[in-house]
Structure 1
Amino acid sequence: MYDNKKISIEEALNLIQSGDEIVSGFCGLEPMAIMSKLHTIKDRIEDVTIWYSLGMGNYPFFSNPEMKGRFITNSWFYSAGTRIAHTLGTVSYQPVHLHNGMVRKLQINYPRVFIGTASPMDRHGYVKVALSVLYEKEFIETADLVIMEINPNLPDVGGDTEIHIDSIDYVVEIDRPIPTLSSFPVSEIDKTIGGYVASLVNDGDTFQLGIGAIPNAAAQAFTDKKDLGVHTEMITSSMADLAEGGVITGKKKTLHKGKMVGTFALGSQKLYEFMDFNPSVVLFRGPYVNDPYVIAQNDNMVSINTALQVDLTGQVCSESIGTRQYSGTGGQTDTAVGAIHAKNGRSIIALYSTAKDGTVSTIQPWLSPGAVVTLSRNNVDYIITEYGIAPMKARTIKERVENLIAVAHPDFRKEIRETAFKYEIW
């Protein structure tokens, strides 16, 4: 049964046809061996669409402008490679919420091909998509052609990660390291912001945390907390550290008590080792984990996210620099909306007060022209910079303006205040 499905990378590539739509596994399930050779079929195909987000690699099929017309790459979350390729016109952005964005595509059409990564088959005929079930299972269940790279280095993670070998058409056996995410160095400013974030998190709270230096600093500031719980889109290295330190226990959770719940994981090799055969960590499908109504079932739910820019009314841009797409909406709206609807929930946005080496304020009277509103001003309870905490919940525009000016960088406060007065932002 299994042996009959084994093929080489070249044989896998030969199965791809002109006009195909291909969905790639996410993050740690990215089929890197196949993706790195995908460009080699350019002379015999055209109009092959690849859905590829938060990519771990920088592959010729989208980084080489000569591939235009051969490959069309769509992404709902940019990383370094796709961010650059966007300027070449080889990658296009798809605005979505994380909990249903890719799955909603199935309401339009079924992509013919899914290519991902899984663990070796067990004695019962199951493999595991052990680092992401964000959307993988939905597309495996509907694709005409499912090809999986089988990698023995994947951790064994519980939840809804099993797939029977009957659901897979072909396997390509590979042995490569799992993609990791380098640790973000934490500065003194990060530590200050992290301390303010931690002051809003209580013992027994359940939290969601993103990636980056500020989230890492916040996690480091949680070390004196007790019995925290996790309900998050992404399981991170900092969460593993807190769990091993006894800070995360999940004892007070009202949903999935005692479990760290996520829909994908990305971090260090140490994180993957922590997750391996760990019954306290479970991954469930993205449409469940990041459903705001599911998130809201967690009492004392705290959503902690970062931003690139906010305006004086509390609108948040977390994904673009003006018109230029930088990352993606991701799960920010999902988790913020879920948190504000939870009993005693809180939605927190944390960011630096300036950008471009201190020459630009990230708090502006209005967002930059073309900037994307990632998070409505109605879904933010607190905005934090290194200068303090600006409460937004139940505040008028006038109060929000005053609170945000108070946490803006001192070099820009006078100018921001004068502009707000001139344009009657109150």
Structure 2
Amino acid sequence: MKRAWGNNLNGGFWHVRDWSERYADKVVTAEEAILSIPAGRRILIGSGAAEPVSLVKAMVEKGAHLADNEVVHLLTLGPAPYVEPEHAERFRHIAFFIGANVRRAVQEGRADFMPVFLSEIPELIRNRRVRIDVALIQVSPPDAHGYVSLGVSVDIVRSAVDSATLVIAEVNPRMPRTHGDSFFHVSRFDKLVPVDAPLLEHRAEPLDEVARQIGQHIARLIPDGATLQTGIGKIPDAVMAQLGQHNDLGVHTEMFSDGVMRLVEAGVITGRRKTLLQGKVVTSFIMGSQELYEWAHEHPAIEMRPSNFTNDPGVIARNERMIAINGALAVDLTGQVASDTLGGHFFSGIGGQVDFIRGARRSLGGKPIIALPSTARGGTVSRIQTSLEPGTGVVTSRGDVHYVVTEYGVADLWGKNIRERALALINIAHPDFRADLLAAAKGRRFVLPDQVVPRARYPWTEERREQTRAGAELLIRPARITDERALQELMYGLSDDSCYRRFMMYKKTHPHEEMQDLVDLDYEQNMALVACMPGTEEIIGVVRYDVEPATRLADVAFVVRDDWQGKGVGTLLMRRIREAAVARGIPGFQADVLTTNKPMLDVFHESGLSVQATLEGNTYHLKMPFPEAQPVAPSRPTSRA
């Protein structure tokens, strides 16, 4: 005689004398199960890959008695015949998130969209503000104790099963048995429908170059030991493909696909450094390949939790170094993010974007990221927009946004004013649209009237983390148009002596025009590199070269903040600017240096280059050919300084 303990509706335990006999009593066909659904009720369908396809088919084909029933669900991967016009008198769909299978019906007004944070849907269901009368779901077969698993979909399904008055489940041996908050005793179900069919798959799209570049930019923002939230699609897949050299990553997400499986198998995702549920891959639903579903079966590292846990911003924030990666349809120049509407029509939904953006923002060391291609419609439309189109809803507010990433780079908007935000976003817009965006920004008084358009694509591959001889880690990277204010602060922070050595005069002001010229670069004939403390935009040193057309030698000069002088910053900047110049085919440097500027002279003489010097009054004119390049004929007599 089998004996087990079952869960009653009030959360207590009661003794089940023989659950297998009760199980057999509940087994029916899909058609028979559908006959038990009354008319005029609200029916929830299981999410994603766990959509109970046979029950959905029977509901539409055999549910002639149904009338005025509402059908609700998150994204589902299977068919949605209930939204077809011929079934309008029997079914009205309410989408918590608009998938491709119901999008047309919503846009044509034959179905409804409910804008809601994913984290809040379970609460809405449990307090019956969003009433669920019937739950149609899919589960694994029962174990020896009579418990089935919700498998790849716990999300809002858990609360629906807890709340519905009628629960009908397909029992599928191909549904993986997943751990976490995913178990129900068979006594909870009213009808059980045996099926044996592969779970619905989400097939990954081939990566294109735009997705790869976005993935590379995002990967550079992710430190070792970070905890990731990511979704499904080309950009999340591209990010995962770039993380093979990372260490001890963790996962706390609303969903994951095959990329997580591959990184777990490669030893990249270990969860060792997670600060919440260490070692666990935490999610609420899984969508991907059959291989992924088989891998998830009885996997002890997978922790399935409902959406009110995975998507609670307070819970998310308990993960230190939380990296939230979310897509968008468009971003305006103030930082407002459109994700659920396109061209004035509802397209997708709020989902978990705001939940994770806010959770990551509150996480110690966290980074909320919005990622999107720079263009749409075959490159004819910019996704970075002066303002969002009429009828477009804002999902993530400008106050919540930190990082925005396109294939052209990263814009960090946190703590930035509208002028700085507009410039940063124009800088990562597609070059074909930058001039128009800047002109519109000037018209709206977002930027200064003489603001220039970024001339070239930011060379992010030149970014390096380096250590000074004193052991300090610095980020050495190309200057960009958005560095104007930080460079201005550097200049105003110099002592009079440092200012005089750099400019050969005492400068009291460093106006916008001067600073804009310093960062207006083509990254070929003129290049500037800045030294920053990692994780900040505070600049402690800068070096720039400009190529002289007649000789092709590059005039080079640099300056380092007083409190960082003598610590090897100038040496690092010199080495990196030389590497950049050599890579661009420049034959050498030249510079004019005051005879009293011993620190700068030392940097040049200790650079490993042959320094040819001509004394002209109180100034040395230096010429430093690169040994890697063809020799340059001297333009004047030289002598060794």
Q: Quick check: TM above 0.5?
A: yes
Whether the 8 Å contact between 1:103 and 1:135 is mirrored in structure 2 is no
**Long gaps (5+) in structure 2:** 1-21, 448-641
Q: Give matches, 1:71-82, under 5 Å.
A: 71-82=91-102
Pick from 156, 160, 164 the counterpart of residue 143 of structure 1.
Answer: 164
Instruction: Tell me which of 106, 109, 114 is aligned to 1:94.
Output: 114
Q: Which residue in the other structure is 1:68 paired with?
A: 88
Deviation at 1:42, TM superposition (A): 5.3
Matched, 1:117 2:138: yes
Instruction: Give the CA deviation at 1:105.
Output: 3.7
Contact 1:27 1:56 (8 Å CA) reproduced: yes
Provide the residue aligned with 1:406 in structure 2: 427
Shift of residue 191 of structure 1? 0.8
1:158 aligns with 2:161: no
Give the one of 358, 363, 374 matched to 1:342. Answer: 363
Is contact 1:74–1:92 with CA below 8 Å preserved after alignment?
Answer: yes
Please state whether the residue corresponding to 2:118 is helix, strand or coil. Answer: coil
Whichever residue aligns with residue 104 of structure 2, its letter is I
Superposed, 1:227-306 pairs within 5 Å as 227-306=248-327
Kindly state the Cα deviation for residue 261 of structure 1 after the two structures are TM-superposed.
0.5
Q: Deviations over 1:378-413 (max 9, x none)?
A: 112111111111111111111101100000111111
- Structure 2 CA distance for partners of 1:43 and 1:259, relative to 1, 3 Å: closer
Instruction: Tell me: higher relative CO, structure 1 or 2? Use CA pairs within 8 A at least 6 residues apart.
Output: 1
In structure 2, the partner of 1:54 is 75
Structure 1 residue 397 and structure 2 residue 438: aligned?
Answer: no
- Give the TM-score of the pair, scaled to structure 2: 0.65
Paired AA for residue 144 in structure 2: R
CA distance in 2, matches of 1:61, 1:285: 26
CA distance in structure 2 between the aligned counterparts of 1:181 and 1:109, rounded to whole angstroms:
28
Structure 2 residue corresponding to 1:384, chosen from 405, 411, 414: 405
User: Cα RMSD between the aligned structures?
Assistant: 1.2
Give the partner amino acid of 2:319.
N
Please tell me whether residue 200 in structure 1 is matched to residue 200 in structure 2.
Answer: no
Match status 1:357 vs 2:378: yes
CA deviation map 1:345-401 (0-9, x unaligned): 100111111100010100011111111111111112111111111111111111101
Residues 320 and 372 of structure 1 are in contact (CA less than 8 Å); yes or no, is this contact kept in structure 2?
yes
The one-letter code sitting in structure 2 at the alignment partner of 1:77 is F
1:366 maps to which of 382, 387, 400: 387
Structure 1 residues 290 and 192: CA distance shift in structure 2, 3 A: same
Determine the C-alpha separation between the residues in 2 that align with 1:152 and 1:42: 26
Aligned-partner Cα distance in 1 for 2:122–2:98:
14
Partner of 2:546: none
Residue aligning to 2:124: 104
Matched positions, count = 425
Gap regions ≥5 residues in structure 1 = none
Q: Distance in 1 between matches of 2:91 and 2:330?
A: 33
Distance 1:106-1:245 versus aligned 2 partners, 3 A rule: same
Deviation at 1:210, TM superposition (A): 1.2
Q: Partners of 1:293 and 1:383 in 2: how far apart? A: 23
1:211-263 deviation line (CA, Å, top 9, x unaligned): 11111111101111000000000021111111111110001000011111001
Paired amino acid for 1:97: F
- Structure 2 CA distance for aligned equivalents of residues 126 and 52 of structure 1: 24
CA displacement 1:276-323 (0-9 Å, x = unmatched): 111111101110111000000001001011111000011111121032
- AA in 2 matched with 1:96: V
Query: Is the CA contact 2:122–2:307 (under 8 Å) kept in the aligned structure 1?
Result: no
Distance 2:109 2:329 in 1: 24
**C-alpha distance in structure 1 between counterparts of 2:60 and 2:397, whole Å:** 40
* Cα contact 1:58–1:82 (8 A) shared by 2: no
Equivalent-residue separation in structure 2 for 1:174 and 1:130 (angstroms): 15
TM-score, length basis structure 1: 0.97
Following TM superposition, by how much is the alpha carbon of 1:76 offset from its aligned partner in structure 2, in angstroms? Answer: 1.1
SS of match in other structure, 2:293:
helix
2:231 counterpart residue number: 210
- Paired with 1:263 and 1:303, the residues of 2 have a C-alpha distance of 15
- Any idea what the Cα deviations from partners look like across 1:100-142, whole Å, max 9, x if unmatched? 1253144325322111000011110101101111121222122
Contact 1:390 1:404 in 2 (8 A): yes
Higher Rg: 2
Q: Is the 8 A contact 1:65 1:88 kept in 2?
A: no
Residue in structure 2 matched with residue 189 of structure 1 by the alignment: 210
Partner amino acid, structure 2, of 1:233:
E
Residue pair 2:151, 2:177 contacting (<8 A) in 1 also: yes
What letter matches 1:11 in structure 2? Answer: E
Rate the CA distance shift 1:368–1:315 in 2: closer, same or farther, 3 A: same
Partner residue in 1 for 2:30: 9
CA 1:109/1:305 → structure 2, altered by over 3 Å: closer, same or farther?
closer
- Please give the alpha-carbon distance, in whole angstroms, between the structure 1 residues aligned to 2:80 and 2:132: 21
Moved more, 108-117 or 204-213: 108-117
Structure 2 distance, partners of 1:284, 1:59, is 26
Paired AA for residue 47 in structure 1: D
